[in-house]
Structure 1
Amino acid sequence: MPLSRIKQSDSLLAVLALIGSMASLCIGTSFAKSLFASIGAQGTTALRVSFAAVILICVWRPWRFPLSGKNARAIALYGAALGGTNLLFYMSLRTIPLGLAIAIEFTGPLAVAVLSSRRAIDFLWIGCAVTGLILLLPLGEAATHLDPVGIGFALAAGVGWALYIVFGQMAGNAHGGQATSLGMTMAALVALPFGLGHAGLEMFSPALLLSGLAVGILSSAIPYSLEMVALKRLPRRTFGILLSLEPAMGALAGLAFLNEQLTPIQWVAIAAIIVASIGCTATSKSKR
């Protein structure tokens, strides 16, 4: 087979893997939201990250790799940010639609990208993101009637995602599998007290444990695995542009599985934030 055909095949596989990753994450999150009535967002978060941690520990067996004190501290911060982000994001889902929560959360990594660049064109992407957020705020005659507390949780999740990126870069010297598995374990330690405090022993009923395992697989194990496939075959810029479509996929998943109807203004807001994310990624400086 010609080399060009092989590269095209690899690229197609990578694109399909990334689309599958986003689809699995959105479907898993939609299913997770259905558990809120039983154990709340706190209990659902605790089950998700705990099962994800167990799966990743079994896959990577992090004890096989050396771990310095410096890397251990960085992984602990990375995991704490991961756990906090998951908890805050699920708390936002109690009162606002999935697609909007993802879009608002996206402003966190977008802010990191823009602040690390400070070029003139980035103000255009800042304007798009701010426009999207303003359209979602419950202000004036064009108010979307979203819960302000839910919006606040989503914005806080965005801050958590930004910290996750910063701390993840600090943990970059450790083995990737070790950092991911130990980081998820730390995330579970952060989320479990909140889950137990809200849901108590109800979390450990067989039916909910099975549901939590399904959420962990769909929302963490499968997406992370497919993202690894995509990252190895796609330029980072292409990967980031495609990942920017996740809010739209979340909105479609919310519509299909949760019957979450969005207003035209909310769709425009999602589009503005997606444009900001794609634009920031496409105009960023990259070696690939």
Structure 2
Amino acid sequence: MTHPLAVVCIIGSCISLQLGAALAIQLFPVAGAWGTAAVRLLLAGLILLVLTRPKFHTWTRKQWLGVALFGASRGLMNGFFYNAINHIPLGTAVTIEFLGPLALAAFLSRTLRDAACVALALIGMVLLGVDSWTGEALSPLGVAFALIAGVFWVCYILASKKVGVLVPGQGGLAVALIIGGLLILPVSGTQSLVIFSTWNFVAIAVGTAVLASLIPYSLELVALRRLAPNAFSILISLEPVFAGLFGWILLAQNLSVLKISAIVLVVMASILQTLSASAPAARSRVRSKAA
């Protein structure tokens, strides 16, 4: 049975993350996508570092390596995702990006039902292609960025699960956020410094850091400590729904019938994958009780 607290944490993470992404888009014209992502991660890491005060001087080499991989995957995922939403609508970008976690879930399960999940997701991607061809064209560069972000999303899921085991509390997350921010900061050059030129930009950056990094990552780390990686990949499928909704409400981004259908298909694939992941566990519990 899926842990109720984990489900609540993931729903909260999805809502906070998409609100933060919608807020971050306001900084793209002045700081660029890479600069916005870097500053967001660094601010969130510094805030969490002050709150948690981790004793990282006592960490072992194994713990540091786990945190470094966690931070690198998070930094690259955010950088490429922000570049994606700088070219294509928020809901579309998250739907494409989600192919990464869905592929991970299918790879870890490997059943006939998983093949059906992949087929549904692929049909959804075809619908996005048709919508781009017949309606609002999608930037190929934006699609490529979203796909790359999806690959690093998989890396993040695996690395985050490991850090949750190796490093207690939120200290590992705080250091990982700073590592991720420092990793992608050079890509933005001096453009990211523009954020600190006015208090208005600083306020937006802090809000983005809290909504898009601090809250969702903390909630996801709590969830990952209670879920297997494939189960987490399934439940996080709510993100395309919230991304499409907030993109429509806050950014006035068009949600065509085909885009909505694509999102629904991806979510259906995730629900089907959830049933696939739950069935073996249920059978195992039955056998254990019978024994």
Q: Which range, TM-score by smaller chain?
A: 0.7 to 0.9
CA distance in 2, matches of 1:106, 1:137: 16
Is 2:174 aligned against 1:181? yes
User: Is the CA contact (8 Å cut-off) linking 1:103 and 1:274 kept in structure 2?
Assistant: no
Is 2:82 aligned against 1:101? no
Aligned partner of residue 109 in structure 2, secondary structure: coil
Equivalence for 1:22 = 14
1:2-151 residue pairs with structure 2 within 5 A? 11=4, 18-63=10-55, 66-137=58-129, 142=134, 145-151=137-143
Q: Which amino acid aligns with 1:102?
A: V
Pair 244,117 (structure 1): closer, same or farther in 2 beyond 3 Å: same
User: Is the CA contact (8 Å cut-off) linking 1:56 and 1:221 kept in structure 2?
Assistant: yes
CA distance in 1, matches of 2:76, 2:171: 20
CA drift of 1:60 comes to 2.1
Equivalence for 2:267 = 274
CA drift of 1:275 comes to 1.2
User: What is the CA deviation profile of residues 98-148 of structure 1, one whole-angstrom value per residue up to 9, with x for unaligned ones?
Assistant: 111111111111111111221121100010111111222369965652111
User: What is the CA deviation profile of residues 239-276 of structure 1, one whole-angstrom value per residue up to 9, with x for unaligned ones?
Assistant: 76553222111111011110001221111111111111
Q: Give me the TM-score of the superposition, normalised by structure 2.
A: 0.84
Pair 52,113 (structure 1): closer, same or farther in 2 beyond 3 Å: same
Equivalence for 2:247 = 254
Equivalence for 1:264 = 257
Aligned partner of residue 149 in structure 2, secondary structure: helix
User: Is the CA contact (8 Å cut-off) linking 2:88 and 2:138 kept in structure 1?
Assistant: yes
CA drift of 1:59 comes to 2.1
CA distance in 2, matches of 1:200, 1:54: 17
CA drift of 1:201 comes to 3.1
Aligned partner of residue 244 in structure 1, secondary structure: helix
CA distance in 2, matches of 1:158, 1:14: 22
Is 2:160 aligned against 1:168? yes
* Overall identity of the aligned pairs, in %: 37
CA distance in 2, matches of 1:252, 1:140: 19
Q: Which amino acid aligns with 2:36?
A: T
CA distance in 2, matches of 1:141, 1:287: 43
CA distance in 1, matches of 2:175, 2:128: 36
Aligned partner of residue 170 in structure 2, secondary structure: helix
User: What is the CA deviation profile of residues 143-200 of structure 1, one whole-angstrom value per residue up to 9, with x for unaligned ones?
Assistant: 65211110100000000101112233443323242321221111111122123x1615
Unaligned runs of 5+ in 1: 1-9
Count matched residues.
277
Q: Which amino acid aligns with 1:174?
A: V
CA distance in 1, matches of 2:159, 2:194: 33
Q: Which amino acid aligns with 1:146?
A: L
Pair 85,238 (structure 1): closer, same or farther in 2 beyond 3 Å: closer
Structure whose residues are more often helix by fraction: 2
User: Is the CA contact (8 Å cut-off) linking 1:138 and 1:146 kept in structure 2?
Assistant: no
Q: Which amino acid aligns with 1:243?
A: I
CA drift of 1:45 comes to 0.6
Pair 115,227 (structure 1): closer, same or farther in 2 beyond 3 Å: closer
Q: Which amino acid aligns with 2:212?
A: S
CA distance in 2, matches of 1:168, 1:129: 25
Aligned partner of residue 71 in structure 1, secondary structure: helix
Q: Which amino acid aligns with 2:30?
A: S
CA drift of 1:23 comes to 1.8
Structure 2 counterpart of 1:192, from 172, 185, 190: 185
Q: Give me the TM-score of the superposition, normalised by structure 1.
A: 0.85
User: Is the CA contact (8 Å cut-off) linking 2:113 and 2:272 kept in structure 1?
Assistant: no
